[in-house]
Structure 1
Amino acid sequence: MAAVVFIAAFVRGFSGFGYPVLLVAAGALVTNPVPLVPVGLLGDMLIGVTLWRSARPYVDWPTMIRLIIGAAVGLVPGIWLLGLIDDDMARLVVSGMVLLAALVMLGGWTLPGRAGPSMTIGAGFVSGLVTPAGVAGPPVVTLAAALGLAPLVFRATLLAYFITLNVLAMGQFGLAGRLDRETVIAAALSVPLVLLGSWWGARRAVGANPARFRTLTIGVLMAMAVIGLGRALL
């Protein structure tokens, strides 16, 4: 899992996405993935904070606030529902969501037309609902693509959203009693690997082909999801 943390952070630094979902998908192969979600959220939050200073001037705050309103509502039932299932069912649910998210990202699917405020809040709700499974990204990435935001605004708005979402999610996990001693220790131990991996990934991204690497990463996600589904079903 230490190697997975480092590789997932490298992927996040290189391609701009994938840390929580990669961590949880790989964890589903060897253990109940649910306790790994807070570890992934903390790591993703740390990566986001390191990029916040340069991104802050470009945030589309109205869009970000609508997303967070929806996510805050969706988080509560999401955490409650995931807490009702056992290890194999958790592996099945998480792996299925990872596979679906990978297929959406691989296909490059976007919403038709421009999304309005109600759709933005709805995308935030879906993202919050699936945050406890570690796959909060695809709903809001799809929504942001439909808004027609400029690239810098697109990245900065999502960065602000995920930093805020991760803070809310960690608070909800704490209130739900899902932050036990082992989870906190694992999160603390992951910090150096997360920072080093994301830093190296960002350096390697200079002059590289991120689109090709993104496709390869999604393929790895799909493979892990299929293996996780097999372990849960057999």
Structure 2
Amino acid sequence: MPYDLGPAAIAWMVVATFVAGFVRGYSGFGFSAMVIAASSLVTNPLNFVFVVVLLEAVMSLQAAKGAGPDVDWRRVGWLMAGAAIGLPLGLLILTGVSEDTARAVVSAYVLFMCGVLLAGWRLRSEVKGSPNGIAGLISGLANAPGMGGLPVAAFFAAQPMPAAVFRATLIAYFPLLDVYSAPLYWLAGMVSWDAFWASVWLLPITLLANWLGGRHFFGTDPQDFRRFAIVLLAGLAVLGLGKALI
């Protein structure tokens, strides 16, 4: 089994990945953070970073059809410029700490981002230019544990952006971030055959869950479901933080 996970741990990751895929399909966010937070309860969370990058890349390709005309490429350029600086710094910090410290850092970050998302803060106008580079820097730092999407999604959600531009710009940014991240993950020793095998057996589960979520099988209001997903993610982070501290 990948990463020497036992049957119970494998079952846990299958369920967690299915739930995370459904959440992403329904609400459009949270897959990587949920899988990484869940993995921190059964292994070093850094083990699953490259796994979620591969799975996210496939889901991004699924969602890319027709998104091109709405992409704000200037924003994407600023985000990538910031991420190019932030990711190496984040990897340098995170790969130099113990497993429990990495688990605590990941859990604390997820809890903080859940608070930001639940607060629902808003800006009066769209943010153009270099501030997007700062968002990219934070995203790059956060992508060291594979969760660079949360700060950008929160940053975009706070602005009065057209929904089509919001979605298309994220769809364009994430694959570029993944392409840039992959060799740095390899240099940091985070790419292994275990990561590829874990991706292979989790991919069908991810695609099925993402499809089901996209079909809106539940009659829940999307905003209510999003809050539920954030609370669920916060719960996983609390468990991970508790495990690290204990």
Alignment partner of 1:81 is 2:97: no
> What is the number of residues matched between the two proteins?
234
The 5 A counterparts of 1:44-123 are: 44-111=56-123, 113-123=125-135
Q: Higher mean Cα deviation, 95-104 or 179-188?
A: 179-188
Q: What is residue 16 of structure 2 aligned with on the other side? A: 4
Q: Which residue of 1 aligns with 2:222?
A: 210
| Separation (CA, whole Å) in 1 of partners of 2:214 and 2:98 | 37
Q: Verify: 1:226 aligned to 2:238, yes or no.
A: yes
Q: Tell me how far apart the structure 2 counterparts of residues 4 and 145 of structure 1 sit (CA, whole Å).
A: 25
Mapped pair 1:29 → 2:48: no
With 170-179 and 58-67 compared, the bigger mean Cα shift is at 170-179
Alpha-carbon distance between aligned partners in 2 of 1:94 and 1:49, rounded to the nearest angstrom: 27
Contact kept in structure 2, 1:59 and 1:157, CA below 8 Å: yes
Deviation at 1:112, TM superposition (A): 6.1
Letter in 1 for 2:76: M
Give the equivalent residue in structure 2 for 1:179. 191
More displaced stretch, 188-197 vs 122-131:
188-197
- Name segments (4+ residues, structure 1) moved above 6 Å: none
Instruction: Give the structure 2 partner of residue 151 of structure 1.
Output: 163
Kindly indicate whether the alpha-carbon contact (under 8 Å) linking 1:67 and 1:120 is maintained by their aligned counterparts in 2: yes
Find the aligned partners of 2:68 and 2:111 in 1 and give their Cα distance: 32
Distance 1:163 1:206 in 2: 29
Q: Are 1:134 and 2:139 matched, yes or no?
A: no
Q: Give the counterpart letter for 1:31 in structure 2.
A: T
CA contact (8 A) 1:110 1:142 kept: no
Give the superposition deviation at 1:55.
Answer: 1.3
- How far apart, CA to CA, are the structure 1 residues paired with 2:41 and 2:122? 30
Q: What value does the CA root-mean-square deviation take over the aligned residues?
A: 1.7
The answer to whether the 8 A contact 2:124-2:160 is kept is: no
Q: 2-side partners of 1:206 and 1:50: how far apart?
A: 22
Do the aligned partners of 1:94 and 1:134 also contact (CA within 8 Å) in 2?
A: no
* Secondary structure at the counterpart of residue 35 of structure 1: helix
Mean Cα deviation higher: 219-228 or 110-119: 110-119
CA contact (8 A) 2:17 2:202 kept: yes
Conserved? CA contact 1:115–1:143, under 8 Å: no
**Which of 170, 173, 180 is equivalent to 1:168?**
180
* CA distance 1:223–1:5, change in 2 (3 Å): same
Residue 82 of structure 1: how far off its partner (Å): 1.0
Output one character per residue of 1:17-44: Cα deviation in whole Å (capped at 9) or x when no partner.
Answer: 0100000111111211111111112111
The worse-fitting range, judged by mean Cα deviation, of 122-131 and 107-116 is: 107-116
TM-score (norm 2): 0.89
Partner amino acid, structure 1, of 2:53: L
> What is the alpha-carbon distance in structure 2 between the residues aligned to residue 92 and residue 140 of structure 1?
22
- The residue number in structure 2 matching 1:195 is 207
1:204-233 CA deviation, whole Å, 9 max, x = no partner? 268641111100010111111111111111
Q: TM-score, normalised by structure 1?
A: 0.94
Unpaired segments of 5 or more residues in structure 2?
A: 1-12
- 1-side partners of 2:154 and 2:236: how far apart? 22
